[in-house]
């Protein structure tokens, strides 16, 4: 798919296929026992002559406005309610507001234009309209000390030559490592589930730490070709070191409604200095330098990157992008499975057993598992692991929501909050319900509106856009993970982040 197909015009041109996909979600498998809300069958209005409106909302008084919004966002309302209440107040999914971090010790400008429906959000995929330089987590950027005194790929705009160089390198790593994904995944899952099973007789086993260890080990091997087992420190503490380095960078932007006002004062008022995690970072760097030699030398010889550029970028991709993403995503996948009805689980199990047959777990088998893949997509729709995306207007342009057209000025920062965008009622029927087979059959057309990777799920990641380099790797790995679970077990029960029953396949 070329850049033009990412453009918001896509949303206008295929209204009819969207409607048929919406209608297909009627009578679908819901994953909870409560019945889904009534499903709309009318064609959403895709009028091209929308009224022009000035962007509603305001930034409030200097310092005070951002401060009040910050308290609402992080404390009094939480992020979901923060955006919902402002949609209601402004009677618009596009409006002006402030987002943290802000006052007193952040230099970041908290003023943004929120874009909270699928149509307005999609403008951020059009690289002619938005600049993505240094705005991975908004106007606030963690110090480059965290990334070896350089701006790594995720902070580069597509107009910067290094973006193409590094992103091609990352995409090449994934392509080349595809032969070891399945054997590495199954070997490490065997190990993880053997351990969990041995602990089950003493009661439910929490899966958070096992998943973090698994992620660190699996991703280090497939992304960097580095085996943590070769380093006693990494085998034992690698995932903790990675987690600390990650947390210290993003803490100022993560809303935590508990333990207030302490969180506001101590976690959200100033950026944390790098020295707190420099030891962790240096150890991770040394590990990659020693164990990831093949991948590093390819980055140098084939992509013309310096050794330092390769290792710092590799570390960021492995730690921030991949480890960070999967550490949020896998627990939410398991939690969705825990809430699924017995009927959904049985259908998943049947599909997995039927498609794996005597051939076992292969890419071909997983590609044929429509329900498994749809379950993965629906989890990403309702729990997008990276909730916020930003884009800075390169020029003045007209931005459309479903209802109106707004004039955005060059330099303004667009801010999309995916958890609400992915519940756009004009696109998704029963938007709040988990519908396991939403993305099967005709429902596959809805993949155009699944945005967790900063682009449509059926779009193409490339060096000329900012879509996640691991888009297909992520959904495939999650589908393999689910398939593995249903091959190994006849029955799985998950309660409050723990496995309580794992009944081996007979
Ligand atoms: C569940 C796991 C993952 C999630 C949720 C995720 C999500 C994202 C998102 C939302 C972005 C866009 C950020 C923005 O610009 O606003 C992104 C970018 C990126 N991701 Fe992922 N990602 C995941 C896994 C991976 C993996 C496994 C890799 C590679 C091995 C990867 C590599 C990248 C890279 C290199 C970028 C920057 C793209 C660019 O600069 O053009 N990600 N990811």
* Cα of 391 from ligand 1 centre, angstroms: 15
In this structure, what token pair is assigned to residue 253? 């932007």
Residue-level pLDDT at 16: 42
Q: Of the given ranges (3-12, 186-195, 324-333), which has the lowest mean pLDDT?
A: 3-12
* Cα of 329 from ligand 1 centre, angstroms: 13
CB distance 223 to ligand 1 below 6 Å: yes
Percent of residues, the chain, with pLDDT higher than 70: 90
pLDDT tens digits, 419-442: 999 999 999 999 999 999 999 999
The model's confidence at residue 499, banded by pLDDT at 50, 70 and 90, is very high
Q: Kindly report the protein residue whose alpha carbon is nearest to atom 6 of ligand 1.
A: 325
Residue-level pLDDT at 7: 41
- Looking at the predicted structure, is the pLDDT value of residue 33 above 70? no
The mean of the pLDDT values for the chain is: 90
Residue-level pLDDT at 28: 61
Q: Of the given ranges (189-203, 268-282, 456-470), which has the lowest mean pLDDT?
A: 268-282
Mean pLDDT score, 183-189: 97
DSSP assignment, residue 256? -
CB distance 138 to ligand 1 below 6 Å: no
CB distance 170 to ligand 1 below 6 Å: yes
Mean pLDDT score, 38-64: 72
- Looking at the predicted structure, is the pLDDT value of residue 378 above 50? yes
Residue 410 · residue 393 · CB < 8 Å: yes
Q: Kindly report the protein residue whose alpha carbon is nearest to atom 11 of ligand 1.
A: 468
Residue-level pLDDT at 36: 36
The model's confidence at residue 230, banded by pLDDT at 50, 70 and 90, is very high
- Name which of 41, 48, 36, 65 is nearest 9 in CA terms: 48
Residue-level pLDDT at 42: 34
Mean pLDDT score, 369-374: 98
Strand order in the sheet with 111-115: 94-98, 111-115, 413-417, 388-393, 130-131
The model's confidence at residue 32, banded by pLDDT at 50, 70 and 90, is very low
- Looking at the predicted structure, is the pLDDT value of residue 201 above 50? yes
The model's confidence at residue 40, banded by pLDDT at 50, 70 and 90, is very low
In three-state secondary structure terms, 390 is strand
* Cα of 47 from ligand 1 centre, angstroms: 33
DSSP assignment, residue 259? S
Residue-level pLDDT at 267: 77
Mean pLDDT score, 442-470: 98
- Looking at the predicted structure, is the pLDDT value of residue 1 above 50? no
Residue-level pLDDT at 22: 56
Mean pLDDT score, 218-226: 98
Residue-level pLDDT at 18: 52
Residue-level pLDDT at 108: 87
CB distance 211 to ligand 1 below 6 Å: no
CB distance 376 to ligand 1 below 6 Å: no
In this structure, what token pair is assigned to residue 10? 């896509």
* Cα of 428 from ligand 1 centre, angstroms: 24
E-strand stretches of 341-404: 388-393, 397-400
Residue-level pLDDT at 48: 62
Predicted TM-score of the model (pTM): 0.92
User: Which ligand 1 atom sits closest to the C-alpha of 163?
Assistant: 40
User: Which ligand 1 atom sits closest to the C-alpha of 452?
Assistant: 10
* Cα of 453 from ligand 1 centre, angstroms: 6
Which of 452, 456, 470 best tests ligand 1's pocket when mutated (most atoms within 8 Å of CB)? 470
* Cα of 468 from ligand 1 centre, angstroms: 4
Q: How far apart are the C-alpha atoms of 346 and 483, rounded to whole Å?
A: 12
- Looking at the predicted structure, is the pLDDT value of residue 182 above 90? yes
Residue-level pLDDT at 31: 55
User: Residue 361 phi/psi, 5° resolution?
Assistant: -85, 110
Distance of CA 188 to the CA centre of its chain: 23
Q: How far apart are the C-alpha atoms of 191 and 210, rounded to whole Å?
A: 10
Q: Kindly report the protein residue whose alpha carbon is nearest to atom 30 of ligand 1.
A: 470
CB distance 124 to ligand 1 below 6 Å: no
Percent of residues, the chain, with pLDDT higher than 90: 80
CB distance 474 to ligand 1 below 6 Å: yes
- Name which of 453, 451, 413, 440 is nearest 8 in CA terms: 451
CATH classification code of 3-504 = 1.10.630.10
- Looking at the predicted structure, is the pLDDT value of residue 467 above 90? yes
Residue-level pLDDT at 258: 76
The model's confidence at residue 30, banded by pLDDT at 50, 70 and 90, is low
Strands 498-504 and 130-131: unpaired
- Looking at the predicted structure, is the pLDDT value of residue 205 above 60? yes
Mean pLDDT score, 160-186: 96
CB distance 239 to ligand 1 below 6 Å: no
Angle (deg, nearest 10), helices 232-250 and 278-291: 130
- Looking at the predicted structure, is the pLDDT value of residue 75 above 60? yes
pLDDT tens digits, 96-153: 999 988 767 778 899 999 999 999 999 999 999 999 999 998 888 999 999 999 999 9
Residue 69 CB contacts under 8 Å (≥ 6 apart), including other chains: 60, 82, 97, 98, 99, 100, 102, 110
Q: How far apart are the C-alpha atoms of 427 and 404, rounded to whole Å?
A: 16
Half-sphere exposure at residue 425, Cβ-oriented, CA atoms within 13 angstroms: 11
Q: Which secondary structure element, helix H or strand E, spans residue 445, and what is its range? A: none
- Looking at the predicted structure, is the pLDDT value of residue 14 above 60? no
Which of 453, 468, 472 best tests ligand 1's pocket when mutated (most atoms within 8 Å of CB)? 468
Residue-level pLDDT at 272: 87
């Amino acid at each position: 798919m070329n850049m033009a197909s990412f453009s918001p015009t896509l949303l206008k041109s295929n209204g009819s296929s969207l409607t048929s996909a919406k209608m297909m979600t009627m009578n679908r498998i819901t994953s909870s026992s409560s019945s889904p809300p009534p499903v709309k069958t009318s064609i959403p209005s895709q009028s091209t002559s929308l009224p022009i409106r000035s962007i509603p909302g305001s930034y409030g008084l200097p310092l005070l406005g951002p401060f009040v919004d910050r308290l609402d966002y992080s404390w009094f309302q939480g992020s979901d309610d923060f955006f919902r209440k402002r949609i209601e107040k402004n009677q618009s999914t596009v409006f002006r507001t402030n987002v943290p971090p802000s006052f007193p010790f952040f230099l970041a400008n908290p003023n943004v234009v929120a874009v909270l429906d699928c149509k307005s959000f999609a403008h951020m995929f059009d690289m002619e309209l938005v600049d993505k330089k240094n705005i991975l987590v908004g106007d606030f950027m963690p110090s480059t000390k965290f990334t070896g005194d350089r701006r790594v790929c995720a902070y580069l705009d597509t107009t910067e030559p290094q973006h193409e160089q590094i992103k091609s390198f990352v995409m090449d790593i994934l392509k080349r490592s595809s032969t070891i994904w399945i054997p590495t995944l199954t070997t490490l899952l065997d190990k993880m589930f053997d351990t969990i099973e041995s602990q089950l007789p003493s009661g439910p086993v929490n899966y958070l730490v096992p998943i973090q260890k698994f992620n660190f080990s699996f991703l280090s091997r497939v992304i960097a070709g580095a085996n943590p087992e070769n380093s006693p420190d990494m085998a034992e503490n690698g995932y903790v070191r990675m987690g600390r380095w990650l947390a210290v960078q993003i803490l100022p932007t993560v809303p935590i409604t508990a333990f207030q006002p302490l969180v506001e004062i101590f976690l959200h008022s100033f950026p944390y200095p790098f020295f707190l995690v420099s030891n962790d970072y240096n150890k991770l760097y040394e590990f990659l330098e020693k164990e990831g030699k093949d991948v590093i030398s390819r980055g140098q010889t084939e992509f013309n990157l310096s050794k330092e550029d390769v290792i710092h970028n590799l570390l960021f991709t492995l730690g921030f992008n991949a480890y960070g993403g999967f550490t949020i995503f896998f627990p939410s996948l398991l939690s969705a499975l825990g809430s699924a009805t017995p009927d959904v689980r049985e259908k998943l199990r049947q599909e997995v057993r039927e498609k794996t047959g005597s051939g076992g777990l292969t890419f071909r088998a997983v590609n044929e598992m429509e329900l498994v893949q749809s379950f993965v997509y629906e989890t990403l729709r309702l729990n997008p692991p990276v909730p916020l995306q930003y884009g800075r207007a390169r020029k003045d342009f007209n931005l459309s929501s479903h209802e109106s057209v707004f004039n955005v000025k060059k330099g303004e920062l667009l801010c999309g909050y995916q958890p609400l965008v992915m519940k756009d009622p004009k696109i998704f029927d029963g938007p709040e319900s988990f519908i396991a087979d939403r993305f099967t059959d005709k429902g596959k057309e809805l993949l155009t509106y699944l945005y967790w990777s900063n682009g449509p799920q059926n779009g193409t990641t490339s060096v000329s856009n900012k879509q996640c380099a691991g888009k297909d790797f992520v959904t495939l790995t999650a589908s393999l993970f689910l398939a593995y679970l249903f091959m190994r077990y006849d029955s799985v029960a998950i309660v409050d982040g723990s496995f309580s029953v794992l009944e081996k396949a007979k």
